[in-house]
Amino acid sequence: MATHSNKPRPMVALQTMTTYDYIIVGAGSAGCVLANRLSADPAVKVCLLEAGPVDSSPFIRMPIGIIAMMMSKVMNWRYFTEPQKNLNNRRLFWPRGKTLGGSSSSNAMVYTRGHAWDYDHWAALGNAGWSYAQVLPLFRRAENHERGADAFHGVGGPLNVAPLRSPNLLTGVYVKAAVQAGFVENKDFNGANQEGVSPYEVTQKNGERWSVARAYLHPVLKRPNLTVITEARTTKVLLDGKRARGVAYIKGGKTVEIAATQEVILSGGAINSPQLLMLSGIGPVNELQKHGIAVQHALPGVGQNLQDHLDLMVVHKCTKPVSLGVSPTTLLAQVKHLFNYIFNRKGALTTNGAEGGGFVKSDASQTIPDLQFHFAAVHLEDHARNLKSALSTMFGHGYTLHVCDLRPKSRGYIGLKSADPAADALIEPNYLSHPDDMKTMVKGVKVARSVLAAQAFDAYRGVEMFPGRHVQTDAQIEAFVREKAATIYHPVGTCKMGHDAMAVVDDTLKVHGMQGLRVVDASIMPTLVGGNTNAPTVMIAEKASSMILASRSVERVVAMQAGVLHAHEVQDSIPA
């Protein structure tokens, strides 16, 4: 068992360690952005630590390889929640990416930002600089939108956003059916209005997954001032009183300590970032003492405020062999798909799985969409997380309409199972603990069914596999929710941004009461955005890097005024 004492150490210890200006823990979507932007200044030394391996697997680049990534025990953390009392005591599977690019190397590549209201709400909570008008330029800066630039989209940014190259026939059927069911068609969920249905745009380039690692990290790996260390599990933030001075990590069975002269930045995500803070003695006193961890800084909000999109699937068999599934009649087509992908990067293997999208209102009383659709031209079950469920997904023909509650009121938490840094965190989402969430889920099932019952599906509609024709009353739908609801992979909020007693970071993402320590990832979201969370995480890191670089420029101006630096050195450090 590793020791977890965080007694202050003499500053001379810095001389015995490898020293960087910035240490970034976690090479996921946020960490890759930070590594790129901070190391753009050649005078700044940056170290990026990642617990997983390099992102060299061909299943990462091949979009349909998401199935293999879901099953991987090497590139996927494969977390499970605590038994959920409102979901028949099931332990829900929570996949998270564990490689360069993090979950952007294994997700469904859907590019959505959420609703403008979400960011205005963050600002209304007291977070200066986070309104929609203020973050929109950061979304545009990050983006290379293949359809071209406009008031809402940018070109020339690292993150390529493209239309699906070869959408399945059923995705078009879904859009027609949704319009027949009374919803509007909207070809840009990230434009002036979010509401409506359409195929999703995806983070792909030339038919391949364009992870945040490929977008931001790969082009700068040869910078001499950037060090990337993979298969390195960070175990502790090293502290001198209330200042972060470095981190300890394990690689190859050996513990290594490295120092940061400027900042330690945690970008491990909504699970790993609060876990590392607690392992380092920063967090709720009771939780730390329960595991024998010396309290270095009492911060009650660490790990609290966990939010996630709970999701349900309405699943039908398809009467025609036109889905993405495999059957005897489509074996030759599957061979053609493989060759089409290898030589043209087109065809069925470029699918992101969840091709069709939608943001709709569960009823007329909603002012903004409170439900999200993901349409998949396969019959899905249990995440394709093991061989049995993967084969069930791949073989046979069907289609699935996911529906999730965009702004759940239930709140959970991340805790510790052990003081051992190699142990998984305790994940307690506390799904459906607020009664309004069940009401929304029941309405969501009804709305999804209305789409799949529309005339456009008449030629393809087979038996409803889930919930099944026998499930009709609200009570029966509630029972179905408890039996089948699952995550759609958007945990956030566990190091929330704000200025109240339960906030972990301020609106510059600095940890309250600490020096030299920030959290930059989806955990800082005070409330869950109404959409997929990868693009917002990239935006968060873009904003954080701008704030860090601006702060550095101010410090250098002060140093110049003190006669320490020359004017040209200050000019070189000012970010574009």
Q: How confident is the model at residue 576 (pLDDT cuts 50, 70, 90)?
A: very low
Q: 429-486, pLDDT tens digit by residue? A: 999 999 999 999 999 999 999 999 999 999 999 999 999 999 999 999 999 999 999 9
Which two three-digit tokens encode residue 483?
Answer: 């039996």
Inform me whether the pLDDT recorded for 556 exceeds 80. Answer: no
The strand pair at 398-405 and 310-318 is best described as antiparallel
Inform me whether the pLDDT recorded for 574 exceeds 60. Answer: no
SS (H, E, C) 470-508: CCCCHHHHHHHHHHHCEECCCCECCCCECCCCCCCECCC
Q: 289-324, pLDDT tens digit by residue? A: 999 999 999 999 999 999 999 999 999 999 999 999
Residue 73 and residue 97: Cα distance in Å, rounded? 10
Query: Which pLDDT score, from 0 to 100, does residue 384 have?
Result: 80
Query: Which pLDDT score, from 0 to 100, does residue 561 have?
Result: 65
Inform me whether the pLDDT recorded for 551 exceeds 80. Answer: yes
Inform me whether the pLDDT recorded for 198 exceeds 90. Answer: yes
Query: Which pLDDT score, from 0 to 100, does residue 13 have?
Result: 39
Q: 404-415, pLDDT tens digit by residue? A: 999 999 999 999
Inform me whether the pLDDT recorded for 233 exceeds 70. Answer: yes
Provide, rounded to the nearest whole percent, the portion of the chain with pLDDT above 70.
93
| 490 carries an active-site annotation | yes
The catalytic position among 121, 309, 383, 490 is: 490
- Which domains can be identified in the chain, with CATH numbers? 165-199+310-407+432-484 (3.30.410.40)
Q: How confident is the model at residue 566 (pLDDT cuts 50, 70, 90)?
A: low
Which two three-digit tokens encode residue 508?
Answer: 């510059």
Inform me whether the pLDDT recorded for 569 exceeds 60. Answer: no
User: 50, 230 in Cβ contact below 8 A?
Assistant: yes
What phi, psi does 274 have (nearest 5°)?
-65, -35
By the 10 Å C-beta count (0-12 exposed, 13-18 middle, 19+ buried), 325 is classed as buried
Query: Which pLDDT score, from 0 to 100, does residue 369 have?
Result: 98
Query: Which pLDDT score, from 0 to 100, does residue 563 have?
Result: 63
Question: What pTM did the predictor assign?
Answer: 0.94
Average of pLDDT values for 562-566?
Answer: 58
Query: Which pLDDT score, from 0 to 100, does residue 382 have?
Result: 83
Q: 202-221, pLDDT tens digit by residue? A: 999 999 999 999 999 999 99
